[in-house]
Amino acid sequence: MVVRQHQLRLLIAVLAVAACVDGELADVRTQPIATHVDDWRDEVIYQLLTDRFANGDPGNDHRVDPSPATLARYKGGDYQGIIDNVDYLEELGVTAIWISPIVLNVDADAGFDGYHGYWQVDLERLNPHFGDLATLRQMIQVCHSRNIKVILDIVTNHLGQVFYYDINRNGRPDEWLSGGYPTNPGDPQAPAGTPVTRITEYDPDWDPRGVQSVTSLGESGPAPIRFFDMPEIFRVPPRPAIFQRFEVYNRRGKVVDWNVREQVVLGDFPGGLKDIDTTRQDIRDEMVRIFSDWVLKLDLDGFRIDTIKHVEHEFWEDFARRVRERLAAAGKNNFLMFGESFGGGDALDGSYTMPGQLDSVFYFTQKYVVYRDIFGAGGATSAIDRLLADRAVNYGSTPQDLGIGIPPQEALVNFVDNHDVPRFLWETPDRRKLHAALAYLFTQQGIPCIYYGTEQDFAGGNDPGNREPLWESGYRRDGETFRWIARLTRVRREYAALRRGDFTLRWTTDRTGDAVDAGIIAFDRVYEGQYALVVINAQGDHTSETRSPEGEAMMVGATAGTVLVDVLSGDRFTVGAGGELTISVEALGSRILVPEDQFQG
Amino acid sequence: MGSVAAHAQSPEQDASDAPEWYEREGSDEGWASPTERPPSPPPSAAEDDDASEPRLAVTPAPSDTSAPSVAAADVAPDDDGFRSGFFFGSYGRVSAASNLRGGLGRNANITAFHPRIDEDLYFEIELRRQDQFSENVRSIVVATVAFGGEFFHLNGDFNENVAVRNLYAEVQNALVSNLSLWAGSRMWRGDDIYLLNFWPLDNINMIGGGLDYRALDEKLDLRLAVGLARPDDPFHRQVTGVVANSGFLPHDVVILDRPRITAAAKATFFPFGRRVRTGAKVLVYGEGHFLPRGERELEFGLREIMPYDSGMVLGGQIGGWQVSNRAFVNLFFRHARGLGAYNPLGVPFRTGGVQTTERARETIVGLSGNYELGAFGLQLGAYYRYFRDADPNIFDRSALAEGAVNVRPHVWIGERAGLSLDLAYQALQASALDERTGRVVRGGVTKIGFIPFYSPFGRGTFTRPHLRLIYSMSIRDQGAQALYPTEDPRSRTAVEHFLGVGAEWWFDSTSYGF
């Protein structure tokens, strides 16, 4: 009888425990995997820093510094904040968000916080500042229900500052000045002393042999590394356990010359971010497993991959292929992987999109050639010709196997600004120029990506000035820039040619200043019988026309007699004989023209 | 009371053995209110003159009862058992145990309240002065000192963790007959679930005062208490140093000082009377909690408003007893909102910017019982608890459902020795997912134990002292193992042993069953 009573009580307890909180977890207990993207060129990416977008859960505001002056500290944004503001994204016309790295980071280092997510310490645990797994799943579900995809920022190149080089082998991290020792006191020709250098065990300079131990008597072999043990700020031996082995790090110190490829690939990222030896197959296996697992746990739609130029190409060939295979086997296709190769140059950036590697990269060259020099500084628009010519050579021209099905050349991720560069309005404090640049962003070939806060006219300078909390804007939706972006995304959504169409430049010019066509960028796009012509005047001094000073008119792809309607103004133009078309565009104005029979009003 | 961390940091229950996240994510921070106390027998049993009851461990001696006598150590009891004089009472439990792997035996529990077979060291001593004056006016002055954690003979540390758990004076038959008044620092508590070391209903620590009035021929017992607590933590009190008007040393300025006020009321009805051999009781219980608005400094030089907060508890209990079989059963219900869901000595929020407890909820259902027949006896304890913390996130390791059930049958071998079998199961499920596995955070622990014991007072479930041998085997399922950090050996250990020898006693202690 006693046993029966026990069993009964046990059963009651189990049922009662299981009943109550299970309901709350019902929708997130599992995360079905599906392909949510048809064609990535249809998407509008919105890059947000999770810590800065919206604070929906004050319960995770640990160590949050509310001062607006301290942008290098945690501010409180989280996944709940994204859930709460999905309407905002939808109204802006966003169809994909790129969120900060989700994994556990070193919380603080030298007075700075790991709010950005690039100081990872445990690749299998979430950063609790942003929320928990269930909330993250719910956020992704909410986004998917609004047809908003979710792209995760990942890092394979390095971890946070999880260890120091014990250069003097005293078992603690030190910084000191070394040198000044007499070289040969008996020799009057000898230097008075050895050079004085600053040595930091946190982030020592590059040494091709590996960071060396040093004493007053000289070098004494490779410096051992020691992991920190500061669990209160997550500054602990990294995980999974393979990252607790010294041999999985390159241990050569930080990059000091960005032009030396060996340093770029093998050196620590400045700030003490420890470079992982990604040539090791066991590391590659772990990276594939860990990040594929996150996709399968969360139903993610893409990776934005950090610091790809600091990792050898062979890694990407291995990583990209196996991630795609694993995800495809689970039913996830069209998974976008695009990388960040900041400062690498066009050829190097494009090299990561060659067959077998990534689907796309951040189009940094364009950022400078077009958005900074043309829209920002009023440079000649003919630079775009050269840029596109280089693109045809430097970037992959065939879709990746099991990739997104689009040649990388046509799927580059275009951006006006991002978290690594000053905001457009900081460098060019002219909202009209920003609007002209945005017109190009949303009509050119590729995938547009807007950086959070651009829609609110944020104008921060270099990191961290460009990482303002979005809530300081009040999430206003009636601002000019917000409305302009919302309008452009709607137009892009309505006209497939603007998303998927072949791209043909119709007019650029070497002329600037008072020239009749100064600032003109004109291109048309054709997709399955649909046509769009875009004409932008990138300079702000006068109205320009699509003709040369000598009277040569622009030739477009539409046939003679076609009536084109400017979807922004309603103005109508008729294509002349042979496809000639002269259109005037006011300073920093834009025209997006479609055939009258395709015009959607 | 009753919150996760309240348990985890209570002095008599091993905080270090709860999973780390469980402590950290808990909703309270201060020392918990529950102290280790003897079980609360049914009123009839407590007041019955059953010789097996150990509460008169000190043999009364004749004395003058008409006036206070500071010299008297003991005096003869009054008609209702009241005695004048100095008294000493105590509760304690001490054990030494091995985990059979070369380490100390320690508990393997995952829930806030759990089977106590492998519980930790704790004891308290009560010094009490009782006097009877004219017109049947009586006074009781109680001082209870409690010790928790590891003791000197275990850790070699000559410092113990000491707390004053009672320091109050009570006057009975004050103003009118059957009215008692008290004031001071006091544990305020009702019946417990002995096997789970748990007071599911009234269990308050406060400095304040209260009254007790018995009516309807003592069938109705009304109790009120009001008190406050102001723990020394940044949620309740903040002191900052400033440059003094003169001299060198800084001057302390109290920036935040907001005590939490708790008012509690309980009405107990004994439909068949209090002093019957078979009886029943029904009680209703309520608490109100109030925390004033305040302001505190943040570390960044900013100031922060701490808004007014409040909470409540509503609860009830029904029970019955039968003296002949030393049988009783009590069924508890408790629902708390806001501050009422948190321990008055704790901080509701350990991290984050949540500042009011408005969203917090706690619901508890508890059951305790005992039945004895000849050489056999059976104890029962069980509870279910649903707790949701105050932050708006519905997914949270601090939002959980949990429960435990514990049965302890025993058989007497002769009059003073016996053997108990202890069977228990505890489980919890949080409204959260494990980040590494993606699975729901939940786990269960099954315990099987044997307790051969010797009781010099003879038969009876609640006779004490007990000298015991204790063996307990705890079996964690995979979910329970996953509650611990992977570096913790318990995350890799499915079976935990506890083999030890120990003692438990209580006698002449007033501070339970208020």
Tens-place pLDDT, residues A473-484: 999 999 999 999
Which 8-state DSSP code applies to residue A453? T
| Least Cα separation, residue A85 to chain B (angstroms) | 15
Q: Report chain A's terminal Cα–Cα distance, integer Å.
A: 80
- Identity of the highest mean pLDDT range in A393-407, B103-117, B241-255, B344-358: A393-407
Range of the domain at A295: 278-415
Tell me the percentage of chain B whose pLDDT exceeds 90. 67
pLDDT at residue number B397: 87
Q: How far apart are CA B351 and CA A2, in angstroms?
A: 45
Q: How many helices (H) and strands (E) does chain B have?
A: 5, 22
User: Which residue of B425, B438, B442 is in closest CB contact with A13?
Assistant: B425
| Least Cα separation, residue B503 to chain A (angstroms) | 26
Q: What is the mean pLDDT of residues A259-267?
A: 96
Q: How far apart are CA A436 and CA A422, in angstroms?
A: 18
pLDDT at residue number B355: 86
For chain B, domain boundaries:
4-507
| Count of structural domains within chain A | 3
The pLDDT tens digits for A177-208 are: 877 776 676 777 766 677 788 889 999 999 99
Provide CB contacts within 8 A for A583, sequence distance 6+: A522, A535, A545, A546, A554, A573, A591, A593
Full 3-state SS string of A291-338: HHHHHHHHCCCEEEEECHHHCCHHHHHHHHHHHHHHHHHCCCCCCEEE
Q: What is the mean pLDDT of residues A449-473?
A: 97
Element (H, E) at A496: helix A496-500
Give the DSSP per-residue string, B159-213.
--EEEEEEEEEEEES-SSTTEEEEEEEEEEE---BGGGTB--S-EEEEEEEEEEE
pLDDT band at B490 (very low <50, low <70, confident <90, very high): very high
Return mean pLDDT, chain A: 94
Domain-ending residue, one of A391, A415, A439: A415
Nearest Cα residue to B138 out of B186, B93, B80, B51: B80
**B386 lies within 8 A of chain A by CB:** yes
Does domain B4-507 fall under CATH 1.10.10.10? My reply is no
β-pair partners for A479: none
Would you say residue B191 has pLDDT above 50?
A: yes
| Beta-sheet pairing, A197-200 with A112-113 | unpaired
pLDDT at residue number B302: 78
Which 8-state DSSP code applies to residue B334? E
CATH of the domain at A358: 3.20.20.80
Element (H, E) at B453: strand B440-454
> Is A1 within the bounds of a domain?
no
**B395 lies within 8 A of chain A by CB:** yes
Same domain, A329 and A359: yes
Domain-ending residue, one of A387, A415, A443: A415
Angle at B107 between CA B103 and CA B110, to 5 degrees: 130
Within 8 A of B399 by CB-CB distance, chain A residues are 21, 24
The pLDDT tens digits for B86-96 are: 999 999 999 99
Q: What is the mean pLDDT of residues A281-309?
A: 98
A59 vs B349: CB contact, 8 Å cut-off? Answer: yes
Q: How far apart are CA B12 and CA B504, in angstroms?
A: 13
Provide CB contacts within 8 A for B101, sequence distance 6+: B497
Of A155-169, A445-459, B279-293, B342-356, the least confident:
B342-356
Q: How far apart are CA A360 and CA A334, in angstroms?
A: 12
Same domain, A334 and A380: yes
**B23 lies within 8 A of chain A by CB:** no
Q: What is the mean pLDDT of residues A111-115?
A: 95
Would you say residue A99 has pLDDT above 80?
A: yes
Within 8 A of B26 by CB-CB distance, chain A residues are none
Would you say residue A228 has pLDDT above 80?
A: yes
Would you say residue B62 has pLDDT above 80?
A: no
β-pair partners for B409: B378
Q: How far apart are CA B167 and CA B190, in angstroms?
A: 18
Domain-ending residue, one of A415, A445, A477: A415
Would you say residue B12 has pLDDT above 70?
A: no
Would you say residue B60 has pLDDT above 50?
A: no
Chain B, 302 to 341: residues with Cβ < 8 Å from chain A are 302
- Do B189 and B203 contact (CB within 8 A), yes or no? yes
pLDDT band at B424 (very low <50, low <70, confident <90, very high): very high
Same domain, A172 and A242: yes
Q: What is the mean pLDDT of residues A326-340?
A: 97
Provide CB contacts within 8 A for A306, sequence distance 6+: A101, A118, A153, A154, A155, A156, A157, A339, A340
pLDDT at residue number A191: 67
Q: How far apart are CA B417 and CA A413, in angstroms?
A: 80
Same domain, A262 and A326: no
pLDDT at residue number A339: 98
Q: Which residues of A lie inside 8 Å of B (Cβ-Cβ)?
A: 2, 5-6, 9-10, 12-14, 16-22, 24-25, 28-29, 31, 56-62, 64-67, 70, 76, 80, 124-126, 131-135, 137-138, 297
Within 8 A of B301 by CB-CB distance, chain A residues are 67
Would you say residue A9 has pLDDT above 90?
A: no
CATH of the domain at A588: 2.60.40.1180
Would you say residue A143 has pLDDT above 80?
A: yes
| Least Cα separation, residue A463 to chain B (angstroms) | 21
> Is A262 within the bounds of a domain?
yes
Would you say residue B129 has pLDDT above 60?
A: yes
pLDDT at residue number A10: 56
The pLDDT tens digits for A570-580 are: 999 999 999 99
Provide CB contacts within 8 A for A10, sequence distance 6+: B405, B425
> Testing the interface with B: which of A1, A2, A9 to mutate, by most B Cβ within 10 A?
A9
Tell me the percentage of chain A whose pLDDT exceeds 90. 88
Return mean pLDDT, chain B: 84
Same domain, A508 and A397: no
pLDDT band at B300 (very low <50, low <70, confident <90, very high): low
| Beta-sheet pairing, A360-361 with A336-339 | parallel
pLDDT band at B66 (very low <50, low <70, confident <90, very high): very low
pLDDT at residue number A248: 98
> Is A37 within the bounds of a domain?
no
User: Which residue of A28, A57, A61 is in closest CB contact with B433?
Assistant: A28
pLDDT band at A7 (very low <50, low <70, confident <90, very high): low
> Is A115 within the bounds of a domain?
no
Q: What is the mean pLDDT of residues B97-122?
A: 92
Would you say residue B461 has pLDDT above 50?
A: yes
Torsion region of B228: left, alpha or beta (phi above 0 gives left; psi -120 to 50 gives alpha): beta
Within 8 A of A24 by CB-CB distance, chain B residues are 394-395, 399, 431
Within 8 A of B427 by CB-CB distance, chain A residues are 13-14, 17
The pLDDT tens digits for A489-529 are: 999 999 999 999 999 999 999 999 999 999 999 999 999 99
Same domain, A282 and A410: yes
User: Which residue of B382, B395, B404 is in closest CB contact with A134?
Assistant: B395
pLDDT at residue number A4: 62
> Is A306 within the bounds of a domain?
yes
Q: What is the mean pLDDT of residues A467-471?
A: 98
Within 8 A of B425 by CB-CB distance, chain A residues are 9-10, 13-14
- Do A83 and A131 contact (CB within 8 A), yes or no? no
Would you say residue B346 has pLDDT above 90?
A: no
Nearest Cα residue to B206 out of B344, B322, B303, B74: B344
CB count in 10 Å sphere of residue A235: 23
**B298 lies within 8 A of chain A by CB:** yes
> Is A44 within the bounds of a domain?
no
Would you say residue B37 has pLDDT above 90?
A: no
B433 vs A80: CB contact, 8 Å cut-off? Answer: no
Chain B, 440 to 459: residues with Cβ < 8 Å from chain A are 440, 442, 444
